Structure 1
Amino acid sequence: MIKLIASDMDGTLVSNNHDISQGNVEAIKKAQGMGVEFIITTGRSYEDAHPQVSSAGIECNYLVMNGSELRNAQGEIIQSLYLENAIVEQIVEELNRQGLYVEVYTTGGSFSLSDVETCKWAVATKINNFHSEISIEQAYEKAEEHFLYKAIRRVDSIKEVFENDYQVGKIISFSNNREKIAKLRESLSKKYPVNATGSFAINLEITNPLADKGEAIKHYANNRGIYMDEIMTIGDSYNDLGMLSESFGYTIAMGNAIEEVKEQAKYVTDTNDADGVGKAIEQFL
Protein backbone atom coordinates (compact mmCIF):
# COMPACT_ATOMS: atom_id res chain seq x y z
CA MET A 1 0.00 0.00 0.00
CA ILE A 2 1.33 3.44 -0.93
CA LYS A 3 1.36 5.99 1.90
CA LEU A 4 3.67 8.68 0.49
CA ILE A 5 4.16 10.06 -3.03
CA ALA A 6 7.24 12.23 -3.62
CA SER A 7 7.40 14.10 -6.93
CA ASP A 8 10.02 16.26 -8.60
CA MET A 9 8.78 19.44 -10.33
CA ASP A 10 10.63 20.53 -13.49
CA GLY A 11 10.47 17.89 -16.20
CA THR A 12 8.15 15.84 -13.98
CA LEU A 13 5.10 17.50 -12.42
CA VAL A 14 5.57 20.66 -14.48
CA SER A 15 5.16 20.61 -18.27
CA ASN A 16 7.57 22.19 -20.73
CA ASN A 17 5.14 25.10 -20.91
CA HIS A 18 5.74 25.69 -17.19
CA ASP A 19 2.31 24.65 -15.95
CA ILE A 20 0.87 21.86 -13.80
CA SER A 21 -1.87 20.07 -15.73
CA GLN A 22 -5.36 19.55 -14.41
CA GLY A 23 -4.89 15.81 -14.89
CA ASN A 24 -1.93 15.82 -12.51
CA VAL A 25 -3.76 17.98 -9.98
CA GLU A 26 -6.84 15.75 -9.97
CA ALA A 27 -4.79 12.58 -9.46
CA ILE A 28 -2.83 14.15 -6.59
CA LYS A 29 -5.99 15.35 -4.85
CA LYS A 30 -7.60 11.95 -5.33
CA ALA A 31 -4.59 10.31 -3.68
CA GLN A 32 -4.69 12.79 -0.80
CA GLY A 33 -8.38 12.07 -0.40
CA MET A 34 -7.49 8.40 0.03
CA GLY A 35 -5.13 9.32 2.90
CA VAL A 36 -1.91 9.23 0.85
CA GLU A 37 0.53 12.04 1.58
CA PHE A 38 1.99 14.00 -1.33
CA ILE A 39 5.26 15.93 -1.05
CA ILE A 40 7.22 18.06 -3.53
CA THR A 41 10.91 17.17 -3.86
CA THR A 42 12.66 19.76 -6.00
CA GLY A 43 15.90 21.54 -6.69
CA ARG A 44 13.99 24.82 -6.59
CA SER A 45 13.82 27.09 -3.56
CA TYR A 46 10.56 27.22 -1.60
CA GLU A 47 9.95 30.76 -2.86
CA ASP A 48 10.18 29.49 -6.44
CA ALA A 49 8.24 26.24 -5.95
CA HIS A 50 5.36 27.18 -3.66
CA PRO A 51 3.52 29.82 -5.75
CA GLN A 52 3.17 27.49 -8.74
CA VAL A 53 2.11 24.46 -6.70
CA SER A 54 -0.27 26.48 -4.54
CA SER A 55 -1.87 28.26 -7.53
CA ALA A 56 -2.58 24.82 -9.04
CA GLY A 57 -4.62 24.06 -5.92
CA ILE A 58 -2.19 21.57 -4.34
CA GLU A 59 -1.48 21.84 -0.62
CA CYS A 60 1.51 19.83 0.62
CA ASN A 61 4.90 19.89 2.30
CA TYR A 62 8.13 20.61 0.41
CA LEU A 63 11.65 19.20 0.30
CA VAL A 64 13.41 22.02 -1.55
CA MET A 65 16.95 22.72 -2.78
CA ASN A 66 17.47 18.96 -3.25
CA GLY A 67 16.67 18.27 0.39
CA SER A 68 18.48 21.25 1.93
CA GLU A 69 15.22 22.37 3.52
CA LEU A 70 12.00 20.71 4.61
CA ARG A 71 9.13 23.20 4.71
CA ASN A 72 5.48 22.80 5.52
CA ALA A 73 2.70 24.17 3.30
CA GLN A 74 2.89 27.50 5.13
CA GLY A 75 6.59 27.87 4.36
CA GLU A 76 7.89 27.26 7.88
CA ILE A 77 11.33 25.59 7.94
CA ILE A 78 11.09 22.24 9.73
CA GLN A 79 14.56 20.96 8.94
CA SER A 80 17.63 22.40 7.19
CA LEU A 81 21.07 21.48 5.82
CA TYR A 82 22.97 24.55 4.62
CA LEU A 83 26.40 25.04 3.08
CA GLU A 84 29.28 26.46 5.13
CA ASN A 85 30.04 30.10 4.27
CA ALA A 86 33.72 29.41 3.61
CA ILE A 87 32.85 26.65 1.13
CA VAL A 88 30.30 28.88 -0.61
CA GLU A 89 32.88 31.64 -1.00
CA GLN A 90 35.46 29.28 -2.53
CA ILE A 91 33.04 27.69 -5.00
CA VAL A 92 31.53 31.01 -6.08
CA GLU A 93 35.04 32.34 -6.73
CA GLU A 94 35.92 29.25 -8.79
CA LEU A 95 32.75 29.44 -10.90
CA ASN A 96 33.27 33.17 -11.47
CA ARG A 97 36.85 32.52 -12.64
CA GLN A 98 35.45 30.16 -15.28
CA GLY A 99 33.03 32.81 -16.49
CA LEU A 100 29.97 30.81 -15.45
CA TYR A 101 26.64 32.15 -14.24
CA VAL A 102 26.38 31.94 -10.45
CA GLU A 103 23.21 32.07 -8.35
CA VAL A 104 22.67 31.22 -4.70
CA TYR A 105 19.45 30.12 -3.01
CA THR A 106 19.40 31.49 0.52
CA THR A 107 17.13 31.89 3.53
CA GLY A 108 16.61 35.46 2.28
CA GLY A 109 15.74 34.53 -1.30
CA SER A 110 17.77 33.99 -4.47
CA PHE A 111 20.67 36.17 -5.60
CA SER A 112 22.95 36.20 -8.64
CA LEU A 113 26.62 37.16 -8.43
CA SER A 114 27.07 37.42 -12.20
CA ASP A 115 27.16 40.49 -14.42
CA VAL A 116 24.24 41.50 -16.63
CA GLU A 117 25.55 39.82 -19.79
CA THR A 118 26.19 36.51 -18.02
CA CYS A 119 22.71 36.64 -16.47
CA LYS A 120 21.14 37.17 -19.91
CA TRP A 121 23.04 34.21 -21.41
CA ALA A 122 22.01 32.02 -18.46
CA VAL A 123 18.34 32.88 -19.01
CA ALA A 124 18.77 32.23 -22.75
CA THR A 125 20.26 28.82 -21.95
CA LYS A 126 17.27 27.95 -19.75
CA ILE A 127 14.78 29.07 -22.43
CA ASN A 128 16.60 27.10 -25.14
CA ASN A 129 16.65 24.00 -22.91
CA PHE A 130 12.85 24.01 -22.58
CA HIS A 131 12.13 25.30 -26.08
CA SER A 132 14.69 23.88 -28.51
CA GLU A 133 12.77 25.40 -31.42
CA ILE A 134 14.11 28.78 -30.20
CA SER A 135 17.85 29.23 -30.81
CA ILE A 136 19.97 30.38 -27.88
CA GLU A 137 20.77 33.55 -29.84
CA GLN A 138 17.06 34.31 -30.29
CA ALA A 139 16.45 33.59 -26.60
CA TYR A 140 19.27 35.97 -25.67
CA GLU A 141 17.66 38.80 -27.64
CA LYS A 142 14.45 38.38 -25.61
CA ALA A 143 16.08 37.55 -22.27
CA GLU A 144 15.58 40.94 -20.62
CA GLU A 145 11.81 40.69 -21.15
CA HIS A 146 11.57 37.14 -19.76
CA PHE A 147 10.18 36.51 -16.28
CA LEU A 148 13.25 34.44 -15.37
CA TYR A 149 15.52 37.43 -15.99
CA LYS A 150 13.23 39.86 -14.17
CA ALA A 151 13.26 37.58 -11.12
CA ILE A 152 17.05 37.78 -10.76
CA ARG A 153 18.29 39.85 -7.81
CA ARG A 154 21.91 40.84 -8.34
CA VAL A 155 24.60 41.35 -5.72
CA ASP A 156 28.23 42.28 -6.34
CA SER A 157 29.70 39.99 -3.70
CA ILE A 158 28.75 36.92 -1.73
CA LYS A 159 29.71 38.91 1.36
CA GLU A 160 26.50 40.92 0.88
CA VAL A 161 24.58 37.70 1.46
CA PHE A 162 26.61 36.79 4.55
CA GLU A 163 26.31 40.31 6.00
CA ASN A 164 22.54 39.84 6.11
CA ASP A 165 23.00 36.56 8.00
CA TYR A 166 21.42 34.57 5.18
CA GLN A 167 22.25 30.87 4.99
CA VAL A 168 23.03 29.38 1.56
CA GLY A 169 21.10 26.21 0.72
CA LYS A 170 22.24 25.80 -2.88
CA ILE A 171 24.60 27.22 -5.48
CA ILE A 172 23.51 26.88 -9.11
CA SER A 173 25.09 27.54 -12.49
CA PHE A 174 23.93 27.25 -16.12
CA SER A 175 25.92 26.76 -19.31
CA ASN A 176 25.25 25.36 -22.77
CA ASN A 177 28.73 23.79 -22.49
CA ARG A 178 27.42 20.47 -21.24
CA GLU A 179 30.85 18.88 -21.06
CA LYS A 180 32.10 21.61 -18.72
CA ILE A 181 29.03 21.20 -16.48
CA ALA A 182 29.51 17.41 -16.34
CA LYS A 183 33.19 17.79 -15.41
CA LEU A 184 32.37 20.30 -12.69
CA ARG A 185 29.81 17.95 -11.13
CA GLU A 186 32.57 15.40 -10.77
CA SER A 187 35.46 17.67 -9.78
CA LEU A 188 33.67 19.90 -7.27
CA SER A 189 32.30 16.97 -5.26
CA LYS A 190 35.87 15.65 -4.97
CA LYS A 191 37.47 18.99 -4.17
CA TYR A 192 34.91 20.22 -1.61
CA PRO A 193 32.59 18.58 0.95
CA VAL A 194 29.48 19.09 -1.23
CA ASN A 195 26.89 17.21 -3.25
CA ALA A 196 27.14 18.30 -6.91
CA THR A 197 24.35 17.27 -9.27
CA GLY A 198 21.87 18.87 -11.68
CA SER A 199 18.30 18.97 -12.96
CA PHE A 200 19.37 19.06 -16.61
CA ALA A 201 22.54 18.54 -18.64
CA ILE A 202 22.96 22.33 -18.76
CA ASN A 203 22.95 23.06 -15.04
CA LEU A 204 25.01 22.50 -11.94
CA GLU A 205 23.48 22.28 -8.45
CA ILE A 206 25.69 22.32 -5.35
CA THR A 207 24.36 21.57 -1.87
CA ASN A 208 25.40 20.33 1.55
CA PRO A 209 26.88 16.81 1.15
CA LEU A 210 23.96 15.39 3.15
CA ALA A 211 21.37 17.21 1.05
CA ASP A 212 20.13 14.49 -1.29
CA LYS A 213 16.53 13.91 -2.35
CA GLY A 214 16.65 10.21 -1.54
CA GLU A 215 18.07 10.64 1.96
CA ALA A 216 15.69 13.51 2.67
CA ILE A 217 12.66 11.38 1.74
CA LYS A 218 13.89 8.48 3.88
CA HIS A 219 14.33 10.77 6.88
CA TYR A 220 10.92 12.35 6.29
CA ALA A 221 9.19 8.97 5.97
CA ASN A 222 10.96 7.52 9.00
CA ASN A 223 9.68 10.38 11.19
CA ARG A 224 6.15 9.49 10.06
CA GLY A 225 6.42 5.75 10.49
CA ILE A 226 6.22 5.12 6.75
CA TYR A 227 8.18 2.16 5.39
CA MET A 228 10.31 2.34 2.25
CA ASP A 229 8.07 -0.07 0.34
CA GLU A 230 5.12 2.28 0.98
CA ILE A 231 6.73 5.15 -0.92
CA MET A 232 6.31 6.20 -4.57
CA THR A 233 8.95 8.51 -6.05
CA ILE A 234 8.74 10.21 -9.46
CA GLY A 235 11.53 12.01 -11.30
CA ASP A 236 13.32 12.65 -14.56
CA SER A 237 16.92 13.81 -14.10
CA TYR A 238 20.29 13.55 -12.36
CA ASN A 239 19.25 15.06 -9.05
CA ASP A 240 16.38 12.52 -8.86
CA LEU A 241 18.61 9.44 -8.95
CA GLY A 242 18.91 9.35 -5.14
CA MET A 243 15.14 9.06 -4.72
CA LEU A 244 14.82 6.39 -7.39
CA SER A 245 16.95 3.80 -5.60
CA GLU A 246 15.77 0.22 -5.15
CA SER A 247 15.00 0.81 -1.47
CA PHE A 248 11.80 2.66 -2.37
CA GLY A 249 8.74 0.61 -3.23
CA TYR A 250 7.60 2.33 -6.41
CA THR A 251 10.18 4.33 -8.37
CA ILE A 252 8.82 6.00 -11.50
CA ALA A 253 10.80 7.55 -14.36
CA MET A 254 9.08 10.07 -16.60
CA GLY A 255 8.75 9.22 -20.30
CA ASN A 256 10.99 12.23 -20.99
CA ALA A 257 13.57 11.24 -18.35
CA ILE A 258 17.27 10.87 -19.09
CA GLU A 259 18.40 7.31 -19.78
CA GLU A 260 20.18 6.92 -16.43
CA VAL A 261 16.88 7.59 -14.65
CA LYS A 262 14.91 5.19 -16.85
CA GLU A 263 17.50 2.47 -16.26
CA GLN A 264 17.39 2.91 -12.48
CA ALA A 265 13.63 3.29 -11.97
CA LYS A 266 11.36 0.26 -11.65
CA TYR A 267 8.67 1.74 -13.88
CA VAL A 268 8.32 4.34 -16.66
CA THR A 269 5.26 6.57 -17.02
CA ASP A 270 4.21 9.05 -19.72
CA THR A 271 5.95 12.40 -20.31
CA ASN A 272 5.61 15.63 -18.35
CA ASP A 273 3.58 17.05 -21.25
CA ALA A 274 1.11 14.13 -21.10
CA ASP A 275 0.10 13.95 -17.39
CA GLY A 276 2.84 11.41 -16.59
CA VAL A 277 2.61 12.01 -12.82
CA GLY A 278 -1.18 11.74 -12.79
CA LYS A 279 -1.12 8.57 -14.88
CA ALA A 280 1.42 6.92 -12.55
CA ILE A 281 -0.69 7.77 -9.51
CA GLU A 282 -3.85 6.43 -11.15
CA GLN A 283 -2.06 3.24 -12.20
CA PHE A 284 -0.62 2.32 -8.81
CA LEU A 285 -3.39 3.57 -6.55
Structure 2
Amino acid sequence: MYKLIACDLDETLLNDQKKISPKNVQAIKKAVAQGAFFVPNTGRSFLTVQDNLRELGLYQQENSYVISFNGGAIVENQGNQILTTNLLPFEVVKRLFELGVKNNYCIHVYSLDKLYIWNINSEEINYISGRVAEWEELEEDNIDALATTKLVKIIFNIESKKERATIEEEVLRDIDYSLNITFSSDRYIEFNSAKADKGQALIKLGKMLNIQEDEIIAIGDSGNDLAMIKAAGLGAAVANAHELIKENADVITSNDNNNSAVAEVIEKFIL
Protein backbone atom coordinates (compact mmCIF):
# COMPACT_ATOMS: atom_id res chain seq x y z
CA MET A 1 0.00 0.00 0.00
CA TYR A 2 1.39 3.39 -0.97
CA LYS A 3 1.26 6.02 1.75
CA LEU A 4 3.13 8.99 0.26
CA ILE A 5 3.02 10.59 -3.19
CA ALA A 6 5.90 12.92 -4.02
CA CYS A 7 5.25 14.98 -7.12
CA ASP A 8 7.21 17.44 -9.20
CA LEU A 9 5.36 20.61 -10.20
CA ASP A 10 6.50 22.17 -13.46
CA GLU A 11 5.77 20.02 -16.51
CA THR A 12 4.42 17.26 -14.22
CA LEU A 13 1.55 18.37 -11.98
CA LEU A 14 1.16 21.75 -13.70
CA ASN A 15 0.03 21.97 -17.31
CA ASP A 16 1.64 24.29 -19.84
CA GLN A 17 -0.64 27.10 -18.62
CA LYS A 18 0.94 26.64 -15.16
CA LYS A 19 -2.34 25.33 -13.71
CA ILE A 20 -3.45 22.16 -11.89
CA SER A 21 -6.25 20.45 -13.78
CA PRO A 22 -9.55 19.85 -11.96
CA LYS A 23 -9.03 16.11 -12.45
CA ASN A 24 -5.63 16.26 -10.74
CA VAL A 25 -7.07 18.32 -7.87
CA GLN A 26 -9.91 15.85 -7.37
CA ALA A 27 -7.62 12.81 -7.38
CA ILE A 28 -5.16 14.38 -4.95
CA LYS A 29 -7.90 15.39 -2.54
CA LYS A 30 -9.35 11.88 -2.64
CA ALA A 31 -5.94 10.32 -1.93
CA VAL A 32 -5.34 12.66 1.01
CA ALA A 33 -8.83 11.93 2.35
CA GLN A 34 -7.89 8.24 2.33
CA GLY A 35 -4.84 9.00 4.48
CA ALA A 36 -2.08 9.39 1.91
CA PHE A 37 0.42 12.22 2.05
CA PHE A 38 0.71 14.36 -1.08
CA VAL A 39 4.06 16.17 -1.09
CA PRO A 40 5.12 18.62 -3.80
CA ASN A 41 8.81 17.88 -4.47
CA THR A 42 10.11 20.83 -6.43
CA GLY A 43 13.22 22.72 -7.38
CA ARG A 44 11.43 25.92 -6.49
CA SER A 45 11.08 27.66 -3.14
CA PHE A 46 8.28 26.47 -0.89
CA LEU A 47 7.02 30.06 -0.85
CA THR A 48 6.15 29.83 -4.56
CA VAL A 49 3.75 26.90 -4.08
CA GLN A 50 1.37 28.44 -1.56
CA ASP A 51 -1.40 29.04 -4.10
CA ASN A 52 -1.04 25.44 -5.31
CA LEU A 53 -1.37 24.24 -1.72
CA ARG A 54 -4.52 26.31 -1.28
CA GLU A 55 -6.03 24.70 -4.36
CA LEU A 56 -5.19 21.22 -3.07
CA GLY A 57 -6.49 21.86 0.45
CA LEU A 58 -2.99 21.55 1.93
CA TYR A 59 -2.30 25.21 2.72
CA GLN A 60 -1.12 25.77 6.31
CA GLN A 61 -2.08 22.20 7.20
CA GLU A 62 -0.44 20.40 10.10
CA ASN A 63 1.40 17.18 9.19
CA SER A 64 1.53 18.23 5.54
CA TYR A 65 4.79 18.94 3.74
CA VAL A 66 6.70 20.39 0.80
CA ILE A 67 10.19 19.41 -0.34
CA SER A 68 11.78 22.41 -2.04
CA PHE A 69 15.02 23.60 -3.66
CA ASN A 70 15.65 20.09 -5.09
CA GLY A 71 15.80 18.67 -1.58
CA GLY A 72 17.51 21.70 -0.08
CA ALA A 73 14.71 22.04 2.48
CA ILE A 74 11.84 20.04 3.94
CA VAL A 75 9.03 22.29 5.15
CA GLU A 76 5.87 21.62 7.15
CA ASN A 77 3.02 23.58 5.63
CA GLN A 78 1.59 24.79 8.92
CA GLY A 79 3.53 27.95 9.63
CA ASN A 80 5.94 27.16 6.77
CA GLN A 81 8.19 25.60 9.37
CA ILE A 82 11.57 24.64 7.89
CA LEU A 83 12.46 21.21 9.27
CA THR A 84 15.72 20.44 7.44
CA THR A 85 18.13 22.33 5.18
CA ASN A 86 21.17 21.58 3.04
CA LEU A 87 22.90 24.88 2.33
CA LEU A 88 25.72 25.83 -0.03
CA PRO A 89 28.83 27.67 1.25
CA PHE A 90 28.89 31.27 0.12
CA GLU A 91 32.30 30.89 -1.52
CA VAL A 92 30.99 28.07 -3.72
CA VAL A 93 27.93 30.09 -4.75
CA LYS A 94 30.20 33.07 -5.46
CA ARG A 95 32.44 31.04 -7.78
CA LEU A 96 29.42 29.67 -9.62
CA PHE A 97 27.93 33.14 -9.88
CA GLU A 98 31.17 34.48 -11.34
CA LEU A 99 31.10 31.70 -13.94
CA GLY A 100 27.54 32.63 -14.88
CA VAL A 101 28.44 36.31 -15.15
CA LYS A 102 31.42 35.50 -17.37
CA ASN A 103 29.06 33.70 -19.76
CA ASN A 104 26.34 36.34 -19.45
CA TYR A 105 23.70 33.80 -18.33
CA CYS A 106 20.54 34.71 -16.46
CA ILE A 107 21.35 33.55 -12.91
CA HIS A 108 18.97 32.66 -10.07
CA VAL A 109 20.34 32.60 -6.52
CA TYR A 110 18.07 31.13 -3.85
CA SER A 111 18.14 31.89 -0.16
CA LEU A 112 15.67 30.10 2.09
CA ASP A 113 13.13 32.90 1.75
CA LYS A 114 14.12 34.95 -1.29
CA LEU A 115 15.03 34.63 -4.96
CA TYR A 116 17.68 36.92 -6.44
CA ILE A 117 18.06 37.16 -10.22
CA TRP A 118 20.88 38.65 -12.28
CA ASN A 119 20.58 39.50 -15.98
CA ILE A 120 16.90 38.66 -16.35
CA ASN A 121 15.27 39.11 -19.76
CA SER A 122 11.71 39.24 -21.07
CA GLU A 123 11.66 35.58 -22.11
CA GLU A 124 12.73 34.48 -18.65
CA ILE A 125 10.16 36.77 -17.04
CA ASN A 126 7.48 35.16 -19.21
CA TYR A 127 8.55 31.66 -18.15
CA ILE A 128 8.74 32.26 -14.40
CA SER A 129 5.65 34.49 -14.15
CA GLY A 130 2.87 32.39 -12.64
CA ARG A 131 5.49 30.13 -11.10
CA VAL A 132 7.39 32.67 -9.01
CA ALA A 133 5.49 35.49 -7.33
CA GLU A 134 8.38 37.89 -6.76
CA TRP A 135 12.13 38.21 -6.96
CA GLU A 136 14.83 40.81 -6.41
CA GLU A 137 17.00 41.81 -9.33
CA LEU A 138 20.73 41.91 -8.68
CA GLU A 139 22.16 45.07 -10.20
CA GLU A 140 25.82 44.34 -9.44
CA ASP A 141 27.83 41.59 -11.15
CA ASN A 142 28.86 40.20 -7.76
CA ILE A 143 26.98 38.78 -4.76
CA ASP A 144 29.19 40.05 -1.95
CA ALA A 145 26.10 41.60 -0.33
CA LEU A 146 24.80 38.05 0.24
CA ALA A 147 27.90 36.85 2.09
CA THR A 148 26.02 36.33 5.37
CA THR A 149 22.80 35.04 3.75
CA LYS A 150 21.89 31.35 3.95
CA LEU A 151 22.01 30.22 0.31
CA VAL A 152 20.57 26.92 -0.84
CA LYS A 153 20.75 26.81 -4.64
CA ILE A 154 22.01 28.61 -7.73
CA ILE A 155 20.90 27.99 -11.32
CA PHE A 156 21.76 29.23 -14.81
CA ASN A 157 19.28 29.64 -17.65
CA ILE A 158 20.98 27.93 -20.64
CA GLU A 159 18.78 27.03 -23.58
CA SER A 160 21.31 24.71 -25.27
CA LYS A 161 21.48 21.15 -23.95
CA LYS A 162 25.04 20.85 -25.26
CA GLU A 163 26.10 24.03 -23.50
CA ARG A 164 24.53 22.88 -20.22
CA ALA A 165 26.61 19.71 -20.45
CA THR A 166 29.75 21.76 -21.19
CA ILE A 167 29.17 23.94 -18.13
CA GLU A 168 28.60 20.85 -16.00
CA GLU A 169 31.98 19.48 -17.10
CA GLU A 170 33.69 22.80 -16.38
CA VAL A 171 32.20 23.03 -12.89
CA LEU A 172 33.12 19.46 -12.02
CA ARG A 173 36.66 20.11 -13.21
CA ASP A 174 37.26 23.51 -11.64
CA ILE A 175 35.24 23.69 -8.43
CA ASP A 176 36.50 21.46 -5.63
CA TYR A 177 33.22 20.95 -3.81
CA SER A 178 30.77 18.08 -3.90
CA LEU A 179 27.75 19.33 -5.84
CA ASN A 180 24.47 17.87 -7.02
CA ILE A 181 24.19 19.15 -10.60
CA THR A 182 20.91 18.61 -12.43
CA PHE A 183 19.04 19.84 -15.52
CA SER A 184 15.42 20.93 -15.51
CA SER A 185 12.66 22.22 -17.79
CA ASP A 186 14.93 22.09 -20.87
CA ARG A 187 16.34 25.46 -19.79
CA TYR A 188 18.23 25.27 -16.49
CA ILE A 189 21.34 23.80 -14.97
CA GLU A 190 20.92 23.67 -11.20
CA PHE A 191 23.56 23.48 -8.46
CA ASN A 192 22.87 22.17 -4.95
CA SER A 193 24.93 20.64 -2.22
CA ALA A 194 25.55 16.94 -2.93
CA LYS A 195 23.55 16.29 0.25
CA ALA A 196 20.51 17.85 -1.41
CA ASP A 197 18.51 16.02 -4.03
CA LYS A 198 14.85 15.14 -4.35
CA GLY A 199 15.50 11.49 -3.55
CA GLN A 200 17.53 11.93 -0.38
CA ALA A 201 15.01 14.45 0.96
CA LEU A 202 12.09 12.17 0.09
CA ILE A 203 13.57 9.23 1.97
CA LYS A 204 14.39 11.50 4.92
CA LEU A 205 10.79 12.73 5.06
CA GLY A 206 9.56 9.16 4.78
CA LYS A 207 11.62 8.20 7.82
CA MET A 208 10.23 11.18 9.74
CA LEU A 209 6.73 9.87 8.96
CA ASN A 210 7.61 6.21 9.53
CA ILE A 211 7.00 5.44 5.86
CA GLN A 212 9.20 2.96 4.02
CA GLU A 213 10.67 3.46 0.54
CA ASP A 214 8.39 0.80 -0.94
CA GLU A 215 5.37 2.75 0.34
CA ILE A 216 6.31 5.87 -1.66
CA ILE A 217 5.34 6.96 -5.17
CA ALA A 218 7.40 9.62 -6.96
CA ILE A 219 6.13 11.33 -10.13
CA GLY A 220 8.31 13.49 -12.36
CA ASP A 221 9.52 14.48 -15.80
CA SER A 222 12.98 16.06 -15.74
CA GLY A 223 16.60 15.47 -14.75
CA ASN A 224 16.25 16.87 -11.26
CA ASP A 225 13.50 14.26 -10.65
CA LEU A 226 15.77 11.30 -11.34
CA ALA A 227 16.91 10.83 -7.74
CA MET A 228 13.37 10.57 -6.39
CA ILE A 229 12.21 8.37 -9.27
CA LYS A 230 15.00 5.93 -8.38
CA ALA A 231 14.54 6.21 -4.60
CA ALA A 232 10.78 5.64 -4.41
CA GLY A 233 9.09 2.27 -4.29
CA LEU A 234 7.24 3.27 -7.46
CA GLY A 235 8.79 5.77 -9.82
CA ALA A 236 6.35 7.19 -12.37
CA ALA A 237 7.34 9.20 -15.44
CA VAL A 238 4.70 11.33 -17.11
CA ALA A 239 4.30 10.86 -20.85
CA ASN A 240 6.16 14.09 -21.62
CA ALA A 241 9.13 13.13 -19.43
CA HIS A 242 12.69 13.07 -20.70
CA GLU A 243 13.94 9.71 -21.92
CA LEU A 244 16.35 9.42 -18.97
CA ILE A 245 13.41 9.59 -16.57
CA LYS A 246 11.36 7.11 -18.58
CA GLU A 247 14.30 4.69 -18.69
CA ASN A 248 14.54 4.72 -14.88
CA ALA A 249 10.82 4.75 -14.09
CA ASP A 250 8.75 1.76 -13.08
CA VAL A 251 5.73 3.07 -14.98
CA ILE A 252 5.16 5.64 -17.72
CA THR A 253 1.77 7.32 -17.87
CA SER A 254 -0.36 7.34 -20.98
CA ASN A 255 -1.17 11.00 -20.34
CA ASP A 256 1.13 14.00 -20.26
CA ASN A 257 1.14 17.01 -17.94
CA ASN A 258 -1.57 18.67 -20.05
CA ASN A 259 -3.89 15.71 -19.60
CA SER A 260 -3.88 14.96 -15.87
CA ALA A 261 -1.03 12.46 -15.76
CA VAL A 262 -0.82 12.73 -11.97
CA ALA A 263 -4.47 11.75 -11.60
CA GLU A 264 -3.76 8.71 -13.79
CA VAL A 265 -1.09 7.52 -11.34
CA ILE A 266 -3.18 8.19 -8.26
CA GLU A 267 -6.29 6.51 -9.65
CA LYS A 268 -4.34 3.41 -10.62
CA PHE A 269 -2.12 2.96 -7.55
CA ILE A 270 -3.95 4.73 -4.68
CA LEU A 271 -7.66 4.95 -5.36
Match of 2:201 in 1: 216
1:1-285 alignment, distance < 5 Å: 1-59=1-59, 60-73=64-77, 74-114=79-119, 118-123=120-125, 126=127, 151-155=134-138, 156=140, 157-162=142-147, 165-192=148-175, 193=177, 194-245=179-230, 247-269=231-253, 270-285=255-270
Where does structure 2 lack aligned partners over 5 or more consecutive residues? none
Separation (CA, whole Å) in 2 of partners of 1:72 and 1:90: 32
Separation (CA, whole Å) in 1 of partners of 2:113 and 2:195: 21
After superposition, the Cα gap between the structure-2 partners of 1:283 and 1:259, relative to the gap in structure 1 and judged at 3 Å, is same
2:43 maps to a residue whose letter is G
Q: Secondary structure at the match of 1:221?
A: helix
Cα deviation digits, residues 72-123 of structure 1 (max 9, x gap): 1131111000100010111100110011111111124101132xxx433533
2:125 maps to a residue whose letter is V
Q: Percent identity?
A: 29
Shift of 1:249: 1.6
Shift of 1:150: 8.3
Cα deviation digits, residues 235-277 of structure 1 (max 9, x gap): 00000000111x5221100011011111110101121111100
Shift of 1:175: 2.3
Separation (CA, whole Å) in 2 of partners of 1:86 and 1:267: 41
Give yes or no for contact 1:113–1:158 (8 Å, CA) kept in 2.
Answer: no
Separation (CA, whole Å) in 2 of partners of 1:179 and 1:14: 27
- Matched residue pairs, number? 260
Separation (CA, whole Å) in 2 of partners of 1:282 and 1:150: 31
When normalised by structure 1's length, the TM-score is 0.85
Give yes or no for contact 1:25–1:57 (8 Å, CA) kept in 2.
Answer: no
After superposition, the Cα gap between the structure-2 partners of 1:150 and 1:78, relative to the gap in structure 1 and judged at 3 Å, is closer
Separation (CA, whole Å) in 1 of partners of 2:70 and 2:15: 19
Separation (CA, whole Å) in 1 of partners of 2:132 and 2:159: 17
Where does structure 1 lack aligned partners over 5 or more consecutive residues? 128-145
Q: Secondary structure at the match of 1:44?
A: coil
After superposition, the Cα gap between the structure-2 partners of 1:161 and 1:223, relative to the gap in structure 1 and judged at 3 Å, is same
Q: Secondary structure at the match of 1:83?
A: coil
1:161 maps to a residue whose letter is L
Separation (CA, whole Å) in 2 of partners of 1:76 and 1:85: 23
Give yes or no for contact 2:21–2:260 (8 Å, CA) kept in 1.
Answer: yes
Superposed CA RMSD: 2.0
After superposition, the Cα gap between the structure-2 partners of 1:7 and 1:104, relative to the gap in structure 1 and judged at 3 Å, is same
After superposition, the Cα gap between the structure-2 partners of 1:149 and 1:63, relative to the gap in structure 1 and judged at 3 Å, is closer
